[in-house]
Amino acid sequence: MSRSFRDIFEQYDWDQIQRRIAETTSTDVLSALAKKKRQLTDFLALLSPAAKPFLEQMAYLSQNLTQQRFGKNIQLYAPLYLSNECQNICTYCGFSMDNKIRRRTLSDAEILLEARALRTMGFQHVLLVSGEANHTVNTPYFLNALQLIAPIFPQLSIEVQPLETDDYKALHEAKVNAVLVYQETYHREVYKNYHPKGKKSNFHYRLDTPDRIGRAGIHKIGLGVLLGLEDWRVDSFFNALHIDYLQRTYWKTKYAVSFPRLRPAEGVAPPNFSMDDADLLQLICAYRLWNPDLELSLSTREHAIFRDHVIPLGITSMSAASKTNPGGYVVEPTSLEQFEISDERPVAAIVDRIRQLGYQPVWKDWHPQFAGN
């Protein structure tokens, strides 16, 4: 059995990390800020409450590091929801099996309709998304979908249920650039409560997923925690620990972090842990200061005003004009969304705003020829 993140994860204790974050002093923060290269312990200091008074300085450093590494560019993409069928119960999700909503899995013709609509809006990078329905929405289904839309989009990413290494190899050969999988929370017990039923209830299988993606040679792995399920500071530390391990192990792979902050959805209780805008900005800056080459992505879950303000502060990639329901762009725009969109502006308005801020919207930063060789 080869090494996996689990070996490292087992050495850490949630409560101990939580205590260390609480006990961080402004001296620790200053020391982290002064460094040229920062370690995980610095990341921990920078996301602690003790770093709050230094947020302006963090934002300044984050802006500089991001511009140096990524330039004044913002990558744009859109999600394409393939299916809301799901055999998991996730208490926070609109697609949870126990939610009585109409289920739909897009047919070939519907996938093409949605894809062409997105292409017309200008997108060249799409993120395919599904729930977890392994009998119908599985690797053969994804490969078929990828084959259908490959002539339309040069850059393809996918965010679906955890798969096996061979499945990821097949996706790689089908020219997938990035695979996204969020642990949701690294708190084992709490994870069980939020995911009582379905394949997703297996915490460790999910935890091992980025290792399987890495072994398959996928070019980019996206990670994240669902901010609001548990203490976001502790969860984010574990997420960074995970990235740190992956970056050492699968060194040819790029890493991206998303910041899904829990928002209200139909049939779902409000989040247990709140994270305000200053917290989220602090987290974005902490990631940037710790790891200057991470791609940091912000979705339309976030409000337009917040999104506009953080464009120059560390973010490198954004979705725009998203629909989070299968068929949401043209096939069936009125169906229920997975989560509520907060930034509802059309693509043109978002692109204009990015330009006004002195940044260049980038539609494509990948060539399919680079995958599967």
Partner 1 sequence: MINKLKIADRTFDSRLFLGTGKFGSPEDMEEAIKVSETQMVTVALKRIDMETNTDEILDRIPADRIQLLPNTSGARTANEAVLAAKLAQEAMETNWIKLEIHPDPKYLLPDPIETLRACEELAKEGFVVLPYIHADPVLCKRLEDAGTAAVMPLGSPIGSNQGLKTIDFLEIIIEQSSVPVIIDAGIGAPSDAAKAMELGADAVLVNTAIATAVYPAEAARAFALSVIAGRIAYESGLRKSMAQATPSSPLTHFLNQPYGHE
Closest CB to partner 1 among residues 22, 357: 357
**Applying CB under 8 A, does 365 fall inside the site for partner 1?**
yes
Residues 142-171 contacting partner 1, CB under 8 A: 154
CB of 293 to partner 1, least distance (A): 5
The least CB distance from residue 155 to partner 1, in Å, is 9
Contact in structure between 21 and 233 (CB atoms under 8 Å): yes
The DSSP symbol for 36 reads S
Q: Bridge partners of 176?
A: 156
The interface mask with partner 1, positions 308-347, x = CB under 8 A, is: ----------------------------------------
Q: How many residues comprise the chain?
A: 373
Q: What's the closest the beta carbon of residue 356 comes to partner 1, in angstroms?
A: 10
Q: Taking the complex as a whole, how short is the minimal distance between the CB of residue 365 and partner 1, in angstroms?
A: 6
Question: Which of 228, 312 has the CB closer to partner 1?
Answer: 312
- The partner residues of 128 in beta bridges, in order of sequence, read 80, 158
Helix, strand, or coil here: 101?
A: coil
Residue among 253 and 297 whose Cβ is closer to partner 1 = 253
Residue 247 identity (one-letter amino acid): Q
Phi, psi of 42 (to 5 degrees): -70, -40
- For residues 222-281, which are near partner 1 according to CB under 8 A? 247, 251-254
User: What does the alpha-carbon distance between residue 315 and residue 342 come to, in Å, rounded to a whole number?
Assistant: 17
For residues 19-48, which are near partner 1 according to CB under 8 A? none
**Three-state SS letters, 243-287:** HHHHHHHCCCCEEEEECCECCCCCCCCCCCCCCCHHHHHHHHHHH
Binding mask of the shown chain, residues 290 to 309, with x at each position contacting partner 1 by CB under 8 A = ---x----------------
Nearer to partner 1, 99 or 124 (CB): 124
The reply on whether position 70 binds partner 1 by CB under 8 A is yes
The least distance separating partner 1 from the CB of residue 20, rounded to whole angstroms, comes to 26
> CA–CA separation, 44 vs 50, rounded Å?
10
Our finding on whether 62 is near partner 1 (CB under 8 A) is: no
Alpha helices in the chain (DSSP H): 5-9, 14-23, 26-34, 40-46, 55-70, 108-120, 139-149, 165-173, 188-194, 203-207, 209-215, 232-249, 277-290, 304-310, 347-356
Q: How far apart are CA 153 and CA 160, in angstroms?
A: 18
Find out whether 198 and 132 touch, Cβ atoms under 8 Å.
yes
> In one letter, which amino acid is 116?
R
Q: What minimum distance in Å lies between the beta carbon of 255 and partner 1?
A: 8
In the complex with partner 1, which residue's Cβ is closer, 34 or 358?
358
Task: Output the smallest distance, CB 368 to partner 1, in A.
Answer: 10
In the complex, least distance from residue 298 CB atom to partner 1, rounded to whole angstroms: 19
User: Minimum Å distance from CB 348 to partner 1?
Assistant: 15
Beta bridge partners of 298: 318
| Closer CB to partner 1, 328 or 361, in the complex | 361
Q: Which is nearer to partner 1, 44 or 246 (CB)?
A: 246
Residues in contact with partner 1 by CB under 8 A are 67-73, 124, 154, 219, 247, 251-254, 293, 355, 358-360, 362-367, 369-370, 373
